[in-house]
A and B are shown apart, each in its own frame.
Chain A
Amino acid sequence: MSATDAVLPDRAPGRLTADVADPLLRPRFGRIWWACLILCLGLSILMVVSLVVLVAGGVGIWGINTSNVWGFALVNYVWWIGIGNAGTLISAMLLLTRQRWRTSINRFAEAMTLFAACIAGLFPIFHLGRPWLFYWLVPYPNTLGLVPQWRSPLVWDFFAIASYILFSLMFWYTGAIPDFATLRDRAKGRIAQVAYGILALGWRGSARHWQTWQSYYGAMAAMGVPLVISVHSVVGMDYAAGIAPGWNESIFPPYFVVGAMFSGFAMVVVLAAIFRRALNAAHLITDRHFDVMGKILLTGSLIMTVSYATEWFYGWYSGEHAEQHVVATQLWGDFWPLYWGMLAGNCIIPQLYWWPFFRRHLPSTILIAIAINIGMWLERVVITVVPPARGYLPSQWSSYWPTLWDWALFAGTLGFFGLLFTLFLRVIPAVSIHEMKEQVAEEAPT
């Protein structure tokens, strides 16, 4: 097997520690890192400005209207939470199925989850109009004697997202504790020693520590898979529980879960490529990783294609004029370029992954992954915007155009995600050092 075919690096454990930990402890991180940081910081400032203007002016600054009451807020929420769902799903599922190539990608996939889920949570909160009252979603003792409306998907969402963010944080942090201890022990500067020392909580890697850690981490992985499926199913229920034609479909929860995994894996491919380039880590994330991820994306693409075909079939088979009208509007109406763009990004372009060349040729695989991310974003636009604008009553029919502030907030959140990820690469081991060493040791000839 050639070096590019391996999923685990052929290196001594000590060398692996140095490979991952030392770049974090270097005082300088290079110009490209700073350029990314400044760019992302600029966009993050745009996000803050957009939010301030939103709070000052109200949700009327967005392109929403009486039919399209959600608009970009729901589009971006679903897109971000989809990406956010994938990290924990990937990490947990690959751990349970004992996929050896997991160790190279799980840490930053989990970080991606945390950042994306936090950003996703911003959209419904700021869409409330009075975001400072979002705590009304929490059942807390109050003088009005009010409790949340438990039959409302918004309340389900709140419980799902809040639980998911906290769960993902614990899962990610638990996995990283032994690596924080490694950084604590390697750090030369006082600040790094103290910071990593506190994060490591005094981890000593004793037999009892490892036994307990393994017991907890394995159980978390086992719980993570149904949790992720439930979270994105709840997001699907946001739509399916509505009566709008095109939304009121029982296919939504599983269709959304696959879509989330699909877009999340595509984002992992993009981030893995950035990470590989930034840390010069071609031996940690090999061509074989991209090959495997390409196959998963191909599978996801086929399932998405079947899902779209099922929607068309339902539209036709229902015999319901409004359902058929929604499908026709998606395919041929005002938004046809978006719908066909979605089909291109999610169904047609990923078929290139049938060829091993496109799975292993890094620029190609990144471009395809970006096409999938764009396709999945367009999917959310089409799903969110068309059905409410083509309801049962013709008087409801309208169109939707995002305003500058819609775009500014979306661009800002992309920058904020980039900012968090850039900082993450600088301070936290992006690859699970201890798991990689464990696997390399297990593979080593004795």
Chain B
Amino acid sequence: MTHQLHLVFTETAPLVAAVKALRAEGVTGMDAHTPWRIAELETALEPGGPSVRRVMLISGLVCAASIFAFQAWSAVWLYPLNAGGRPLFSWPAFGFATFETGILGAAAGGFVAMIRRCGLPRLHHPFFITAETELATDDRFFLTIPGDTAPDRMRLSRLEGLHEIVEVGA
């Protein structure tokens, strides 16, 4: 497996500061692993990628339009039924299934997009190779740097608030 360094922090502020400092020095390929969401990291690391919400919007609209079209087609052409003299194209009554299905489509499309964008499910990621990283879901903050782009140990050890450095891989 690839050589990686995990810089371990016990507080969020030094982690964010370290990310900014190392990016300014040209270090690339960094990722942070934290027990909770830290909004500043998203601007500092810029993980990027396509928006999940765009997928939700498109899948929601497609599902809503499809079920509406299906209702209209089936009520007007496939099985026209005179119910109390109401028009066959009773579009207000079609609104319920359209809305519910649209929301469900957006939720389901977004869920799949979120899972894919996060690269999940993946139960064997190299991040899990050391037992220390189990604390990344508790109260430790990990900054992962690829071994080939990492500065030397002397530089890293000068980072403020750094708790320890864990080296993994060959």
- Name B50's closest neighbour in chain A (CB-CB): A212
Contact A139 B137 (CB under 8 A): no
Interface band, chain A: 35 or more
Contact B93 A150 (CB under 8 A): yes
Contact A145 B45 (CB under 8 A): no
| Distance of A277 from chain B, by nearest CB (Å) | 26
On whether A170 and B86 interact (CB within 8 A), knowing A210-B37, A212-B117, the answer reads no
The residues of B that contact A213 with a CB separation of less than 8 Å are 37, 114, 118
The 9 closest A-B pairs by CB, nearest first: A208-B47, A438-B36, A185-B134, A14-B139, A163-B100, A156-B96, A201-B121, A163-B104, A210-B37
The residues of A with any CB-CB pair to B shorter than 8 Å are 12-14, 17, 139, 145-147, 149-151, 155-156, 159-160, 162-164, 166-167, 170-171, 174, 178, 181-182, 184-186, 197-198, 201-216, 219-220, 223, 226-227, 230-231, 234, 237, 434-435, 437-438, 441, 446
Per the bound structure, the CA–CA distance linking A156 and B71 in Å amounts to 12
Identify whether the interface residues of B are mostly helix, strand, loop, or mixed.
Answer: helix
On whether A227 and B122 interact (CB within 8 A), knowing A145-B78, A213-B114, A219-B56, the answer reads no
Contact B137 A182 (CB under 8 A): yes
B160 proximal to A (CB < 8 A): no
A-B contact pairs, 30 of them (CB 8 A): A13-B35, A13-B36, A139-B74, A145-B79, A147-B74, A147-B78, A147-B79, A151-B90, A163-B100, A174-B114, A182-B138, A202-B121, A202-B123, A205-B136, A207-B34, A207-B38, A210-B34, A210-B42, A214-B37, A215-B51, A215-B52, A216-B56, A216-B110, A219-B53, A223-B103, A226-B103, A227-B100, A234-B100, A237-B96, A434-B37
Partner of A208, one of B96, B97, B115, B118: B118
Tell me the number of A-to-B contacts counted with CB atoms below 8 Å.
Answer: 191
Contact B52 A205 (CB under 8 A): no
The residues of B that contact A13 with a CB separation of less than 8 Å are 35-36, 138-139
The residues of A that contact B90 with a CB separation of less than 8 Å are 150-151
Interface band, chain B: 35 or more
Per the bound structure, the CA–CA distance linking A312 and B124 in Å amounts to 64
| Distance of B126 from chain A, by nearest CB (Å) | 10
B107 proximal to A (CB < 8 A): yes
Per the bound structure, the CA–CA distance linking A182 and B136 in Å amounts to 8
On whether A159 and B101 interact (CB within 8 A), knowing A170-B107, A201-B121, A212-B114, the answer reads yes
The residues of A that contact B32 with a CB separation of less than 8 Å are 206-207
Per the bound structure, the CA–CA distance linking A172 and B37 in Å amounts to 17
The residues of B that contact A223 with a CB separation of less than 8 Å are 103, 106-107
Contact B35 A170 (CB under 8 A): no
The residues of A that contact B36 with a CB separation of less than 8 Å are 13, 178, 205, 210, 434-435, 437-438, 441
Per the bound structure, the CA–CA distance linking A230 and B107 in Å amounts to 16
B83 proximal to A (CB < 8 A): yes
